[in-house]
Structure 1
Amino acid sequence: MDAELFPRERARIAPGAVHVPDWLGESDQRRLVEACREWSRPPAGLRTVRTPGGTMSARQVCLGLHWYPYGYARTTVDGDRTPVKPLPHWLAALGREAVEASLAPAGGPGGVPTEPDGFPPGAHDVPYDIALINYYDADARMGMHRDSDERSTAPVVSFSLGDTCVFRFGNTGSRNRPYTDVELRSGDLFVFGGPARLAYHGVPRVLAGTAPAGLGLTGRLNITLRVSGLGPDLEPIMGDSPS
């Protein structure tokens, strides 16, 4: 209870991983929820994802490029096989703003923000071209995994909408400990790049019924923005592959 007496502060969860609470205002959250509803409609709409390990309990829709286990395509190859919806310019721009917001606060020479913990130079000005949108109902989970199908080292940007979740952020070596559990609420921003870009992470729990009353959303939406590092032929762009 004491923690609720004070505003939640931005936190460095691991080298290269930053949690910025309440980054999205109420109007931005409502705009994103309504946009997600439109993107989730067919064609190339919300789908159930089947992986070699089983069926994901969170359902997903993609923008820009379509993710499937384990690669990218321009059509929904494991769905209705229609062209994937484009990534809106305003959403890509919001991703760049989010990375800039995750940078270390001004305090260096001239008050210029510094890029934390090994973010690539210019990390706040990269061309985001993919969005993965996951919808979680009360029983949905996400196992520990890495976002490793891209060919770019650019930071991953994550927006949370609706129900609060427990977000488990781990290490780059395995799905096991050490990891840190972070409570992500509606409007929260989480960015991870640099040495944390390939860290394992997952969602072991959604706290049902915790979405803001005025949002009009039951469950949780997570919008994850990524840079593919892939050219028009979906081949890696030289010099942009992760090490």
Structure 2
Amino acid sequence: MDSELFPRERAQVAPGAVHVPDWVDPAHQRELLRACRDWARPPAGLRTVRTPGGGTMTARQVCLGWHWYPYAYARTVGDGDGAPVKPFPAWLGELGRRAVADALGPAPARGAAYDIALINFYDGDARMGMHRDADEKSEAPVVSLSLGDTCVFRFGNPRTRTRPYTDVELRSGDLFVFGGPSRLAYHGVPRVLPGTAPAGLGLTGRLNITLRVSGFPDAT
């Protein structure tokens, strides 16, 4: 009941990890959704990610800037249609920089340019196991934006996939940033809550836009 009566407050979930509710307003959520739908179209569109052990991730993915596959990056979709990865737009990088400044405050060390986006689509049955975002060379904070259905986001620690961890409810428009001592923390999505997306958004399921700085020598 309280969550319906009072605005949700921003929270530091762990050192360097901050949840900012309702950071993206409804109009900009719709703009982001339109962009995601364009990015999801082939070539280099939405795909099912296959793990080295032969399994598949239940969340489907499209990448911008650099193509991620378990557990490396490339400029082409080698585990899909082989097309060049879609470019990373400058406006998305600016959104990432603003998100970090709003969540963690401005700092010279956070001036690196965002050049990777991993966009994951979750239907009602999709999950994401506990993992670390450890394939980049940069220690710049990770930016996570949520659209559509609410999910349970499990944010842990840098040492183990198990406890201690904190479960955070991420709703459409929420921002989550993690850097510093939490940059390599394990995290995952154990559950999506179907039917919880805003009625005016026009999305069934959940989209997560994750922005990262590659730190690769040939990054532009």
**Larger Rg: 1 or 2?**
1
Distance 1:160 1:34 in 2: 14
Other-structure match for 1:11: 11
Find out whether 1:35 has 2:35 as its counterpart: yes
How many correspondences in the alignment?
A: 218
Q: 4+ residue runs of structure 1 moved beyond 6 angstroms? A: none
Alignment map for 1:42-121 (pairs within 5 Å)? 42-53=42-53, 54-103=55-104, 113=105, 121=108
Distance 2:106 2:147 in 1: 28
Distance 1:41 1:157 in 2: 23
Other-structure match for 2:205: 219
TM-score (norm 1): 0.88
Find out whether 1:184 has 2:184 as its counterpart: no
Greater mean alpha carbon deviation, residues 12-21 or residues 44-53: 44-53
Find out whether 1:122 has 2:123 as its counterpart: no
Q: CA deviation at 1:48?
A: 0.1
Distance 1:148 1:67 in 2: 11
Other-structure match for 2:147: 161
Partner of 2:96, secondary structure, is: helix
Structure 1 residues 91-136: Cα deviation after superposition (integer angstroms, max 9, x where no partner): 1100000001102xxxxxxxxx566xxxxx431x320000000000
Partner of 2:45, secondary structure, is: coil
The code of the aligned residue for 1:26 comes to: P
Partner of 2:200, secondary structure, is: helix
TM-score (norm 2): 0.97
Unaligned runs of 5+ in 2: none
Other-structure match for 1:206: 192
The alignment's C-alpha RMSD in Å is 1.1
Distance 2:112 2:34 in 1: 26
